[in-house]
């Protein structure tokens, strides 16, 4: 009997996914472990491995199928010795643990967006995922040379084009679309699964989590000086490049980890049944990607050196932007950090990422007049830190103590070297 290939659950929060692209076609031989498709989950675009072997007899959910429920049948695999006649009358509904689901097909771009999707009067050969990324990023897909089969434009081609100097000058072409009697210059860009989940979770957080905020200014003179000294003294690798380059954010991660270790009551989450206190210091760090915000985790950050944290964050950030994170690398974490300092933002309030109890918002450092212990005024680099807390699990005094520990660690960075 043929085998049903169903939509897998690729993350604990996944309820449905978009079938971005099939990497195998009907009639192809499939072996266990083969990558057969790309699925866009609520967190990232991930590869799906075959768990059986045979011949891909029929694809039920084609490229671009959207909103496919977990456990819905997406394809039929023929066992050894079977041919397409085995598909006649075969029930393609999901098994008893999941109801049959009809996926919604991604709508084709309206005619008003033709300049983005056509080339010399012909449709561009591109994967649905590549088209969506091109639309989201305003990249003219008709100008890209595809590296996929038969010149097909794939995700990597769009990302490479986006990062090229020429792409920086490109803008999305908006063609007037008639709506009633009015002419509107706009296009519709379908929401990604990640964007939908972000919207849902943030709305739930702001409407169900009682937020409160505390802000402190941190003197960053010593931190910036030590950072420069550490980076200048970094040993060179075989390629002649420094083995590490510490960022301000790496110091913030380490400082927060040490503070969580000293104030363990802040390393907590709320549940209706009980307070959940974490033994491990696992810190989620917000990373911006083409499809939304994701928070890869630096695990056991309190036990790692600044260099280890720095190198690990570089790997995690790259994997996040390439949609290559595994669930183990972004699911969990007891505390989050969001840093907008690189964009020149001085101070902001972040939204708590449930079920975590708090998130730290880090602003840019700027020169300000500061009164020292002797009453003298001098100009120093000052950085603003704002903590957002879930008042159900972290009260004001606890948050103040915890934030004070982070401030102390950053103002006395040598404490992080002990």
**Active-site annotation, residues:** 391
Q: Which residues contact 46 (CB under 8 A, 6 or more apart)?
A: 10, 38, 39, 40, 323, 326
Q: Are 59 and 38 in contact (CB under 8 A)?
A: no
Dig out the tokens for 253 from the structure. 């991660």
CB atoms under 10 Å from CB of 72, counted, come to 25
Q: Rounded to an integer, what distance in angstroms lies between the CA atom of residue 320 and that of residue 285?
A: 11
Its sign, for the CA torsion 263, 269, 272, 273, is: negative
Report the candidate in 317, 289, 287, 313 with the shortest Cα–Cα distance to residue 299. Answer: 313
**Residue with token string 């959940």:** 276
Report the number of secondary-structure helices (H) and strands (E) in the chain: 10, 23
Consecutive H or E run containing 81:
none
Distance of CA 210 to the CA centre of its chain: 25
């Amino acid at each position: 009997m043929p085998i049903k290939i169903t939509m897998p659950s690729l993350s604990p929060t996944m309820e449905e996914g978009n079938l971005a692209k099939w990497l195998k076609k009907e009639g192809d031989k499939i072996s266990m472990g083969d990558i057969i498709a790309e699925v866009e989950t609520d967190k990232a675009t991930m590869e799906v491995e075959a768990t059986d072997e045979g011949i891909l007899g029929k694809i039920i959910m084609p490229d671009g199928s959207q909103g496919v429920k977990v456990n819905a049948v997406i394809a039929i695999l023929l066992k050894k010795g079977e041919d397409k006649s085995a598909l006649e009358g075969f029930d393609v509904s999901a098994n008893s643990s999941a109801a049959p689901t009809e996926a919604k097909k991604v709508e084709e771009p309206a005619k008003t967006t033709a300049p983005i999707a056509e080339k010399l009067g012909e449709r561009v050969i591109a994967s649905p995922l590549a088209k969506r990324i091109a639309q989201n990023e305003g990249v003219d897909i008709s100008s890209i040379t595809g590296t996929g089969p038969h010149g097909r434009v794939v995700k990597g081609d769009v990302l490479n084009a986006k990062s090229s100097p020429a792409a920086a000058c490109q803008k999305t072409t908006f063609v007037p679309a008639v709506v009633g009697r009015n002419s509107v210059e706009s296009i519709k860009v379908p929401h990604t699964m990640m964007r939908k989940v972000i919207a849902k979770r943030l709305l739930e957080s702001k409407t169900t989590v009682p937020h409160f905020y505390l802000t402190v200014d941190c003197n960053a003179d010593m931190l910036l000086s030590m950072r420069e000294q550490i980076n200048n003294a970094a040993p060179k690798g075989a390629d002649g490049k420094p083995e590490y380059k510490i960022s301000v954010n790496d110091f913030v991660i380490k400082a927060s980890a040490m503070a969580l270790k000293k104030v363990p009551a802040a390393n907590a989450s709320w549940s209706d049944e009980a307070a959940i206190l974490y033994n491990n210091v696992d810190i989620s760090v917000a990373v911006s990607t083409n499809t939304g915000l994701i928070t890869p985790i630096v695990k056991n950050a309190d036990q790692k050196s600044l260099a280890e944290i720095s190198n690990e964050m570089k790997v995690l950030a790259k994997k996040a932007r390439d949609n290559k994170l595994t669930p183990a690398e972004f699911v969990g974490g007891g505390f989050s950090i969001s840093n907008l300092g690189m964009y020149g933002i001085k101070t902001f309030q972040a939204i708590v990422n449930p079920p975590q109890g708090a998130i730290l918002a880090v602003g840019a450092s700027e020169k300000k007049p500061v009164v020292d212990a002797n009453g003298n005024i001098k100009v120093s680099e000052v950085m603003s830190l704002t903590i957002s807390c879930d008042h159900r699990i972290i009260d004001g005094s606890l948050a103040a103590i915890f934030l004070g520990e982070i401030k102390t660690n950053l103002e006395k960075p040598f404490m992080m070297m002990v």
